[in-house]
Structure 1
Amino acid sequence: MSFFNSIGRSMSRNPRPQKRSPTPTSADMPPPPSPVSPPASKPLYLCSPFVEAALVKGNFKTIVVLPKYVDIMEWVAVNVFDFYTNLNEFYGVISECCTQHSCPTMSAGTGLSYTWINQDRKSVNLPAPTYIDYVMTWVQNLLDDENVFPTKSGHDFPQSFPSTIKHVYRQLLRVFAHIYHAHYPQLLHLRSEPHFNSLFAHFLAFGREYELLDLKDVKGAANAPVGIGALWDKWKEMGILEG
């Protein structure tokens, strides 16, 4: 199934909420517990039982296939909206732990930090909370733009929609990557790892099914690997994802 070769519109969606609102967070979230520590080179999200924790059993391919009679543009738009909404809620829960002091860069692996392209088209390093706020605000503005995400009957998606969605996907992937790298212990403390793992596996499966995700974005370069690249490989071995 190639999303980038598909055009048209066959159904309409319900209107979206007007604006994202911060998810209520705990005012005094305690530090995560200290279980038996794995080897220093192996992050917690790759350790059992956390790597197996999920709400959905089996291969995620079954839940990303385009339903019969549903337009592919609508299917992609609705799912991207859901991924954004759920990811934004997860980040809202742990945002108090993601500060300029704790996360001075948008890190996603050992020696890897993402940079933001500013208005002068220059790459700049930003603290993770600033970077993520820029991403979420940018995506929300796109979702609210009827010229990009039409919600009224008779309004077609623009020709640039596939490339726009691919860029959105890349940025949301970076938010996932930072949370796994820097804040997975907080998710464990909240016992949210099955929910977050399932959301991310769904995100990866959908991205690969509709060609929204490049493996190089998931794994990174040999000299600067993304931490979640190993998680992708592990879930493939477990039969959760396909190559």
Structure 2
Amino acid sequence: MTRAQRPKRSPTPTSATFPPAEMLPPKPLSPTTVTPPKPLYLSSPFVEAALVNGNFKTIVMLPKYVDIMEWVAVNSGCVSSVFDFYTNLNEFYGVIAECCNQQSCPKMSAGPALNYTWISQDRKSVHLAAPTYIDYVMTWVQNLLDDDNTFPTKAGQEFPQSFPSTVKHIYRQLLRVFAHIYHSHYHQILHLRSEPHFNSLFAHFLAFGREYELLEVKDVKGSSSAPVGIGQLWEAWQQMGKLEG
């Protein structure tokens, strides 16, 4: 009789029997958070570019013997007024308007996750292409500035009681135009080498708005889920001493 042969066992695996490391399947990479690139307007030297050195508060303070309503509205010789901000912003936008069209700017964007909506006549929020939105804003503001009942131009004529709320609404809409230009067209501002002028205009606008309570911080910074791109610029200028906290 012959002894039945036992089945052969596989050898105990050792490091010598494993395939070399280069032959093993690659390990899955752990997910990494991709940090978006910093916007140009927050990058040096562009964030420092300005025509004015020091704090902008010094040029927005109410002069003696000047009526605050006229200072905020429009006054020949004033360096600060809603009329001046509108006029200068409109000129800047006019220079880059050909780059802001239905194809390049289908929405009024002001941040990676923020698109402004327009309130229609039936009180509904509607998305508009940026050039359409900005045209609506500029036309609306121009009509208000031309309305003698809203912005009186005759000596002794009283400002309406609704004037402060009207100016705040104008300021909020002009801020949105600034925000869109910074978010979508700052590279064109750089191409024109106009960043010191545009930065100075916007810093002046912010300082004036905060000095006379025309601008809410929430409008500048947005929400945590939809931040306004220029909110970081405002904070950077505060740290640099250009704007008050």
Length-normalised TM-score, structure 2: 0.83
1:45 matched residue in structure 2? 41
RMSD: 0.7
Paired residues in the alignment total 205
Higher-Rg structure is 2
Matched, 1:74 2:74: no
For 1:49 and 1:152, the matched residues in 2 are separated by 45
Q: 1:224 is matched with which residue?
A: 226
Q: Which residue of 2 aligns with 1:136?
A: 138
Match for 2:215 among 213, 225, 230?
Answer: 213
The match for 2:200 among 195, 198, 214 is: 198
SS of the residue aligned with 2:105? coil
Percent of paired sites with the same residue:
81
Q: Aligned equivalents of 2:225 and 2:182: distance in 1? A: 19
1:41 and 1:150 mapped to 2: Cα distance?
47
Say yes or no: does 1:163 pair with 2:165. yes
1:86 matched to 2:88? The reply is yes
Counterpart for residue 57 of structure 1:
53
Measure the CA separation in 2 of the matches of 1:69 and 1:180.
36
User: What is the CA-CA distance between 1:40 and the residue it aligns to?
Assistant: 4.0
Instruction: Give, in whole Å, the separation in 1 of the partners of 2:177 and 2:147.
Output: 22
Aligned to 1:177: 179
Render the CA deviation track for 1:33-86: whole Å, top value 9, x for unaligned: xxxxxx743100000000000000000000000001000000000200000000
Give the Cα separation in 2 of the matches to 1:110 and 1:186.
Answer: 19
In structure 2, the partner of 1:16 is none
Aligned to 2:148: 146
Segments of structure 1 that go 5 or more residues without pairing to the other structure are: 1-38
What is the TM-score when the length of structure 1 is the normalising length? 0.84
Which SS does the other structure have where 2:66 is aligned? coil
Higher relative contact order (CA 8 A, sep 6+): 1
**1:7-41 deviation per Cα after TM superposition (whole angstroms, max 9, x unaligned):** xxxxxxxxxxxxxxxxxxxxxxxxxxxxxxxx743
Give the letter for the 1:113 counterpart.
Answer: N
Matching residue's letter, 2:132: T
How far residue 153 of structure 1 moved from its aligned partner, in angstroms, is: 1.1
In 1, distance between residues paired with 2:109 and 2:130? 7
The answer for unaligned runs of 5 or more in structure 2 is: 1-34, 75-80
How far apart, CA to CA, are the structure 2 residues paired with 1:53 and 1:147?
39
- What letter matches 2:44 in structure 1? S
Q: Which runs of 4+ in 1 moved over 6 A?
A: none
Distance 2:156 2:111 in 1: 45
Secondary structure, aligned partner of 1:224:
coil
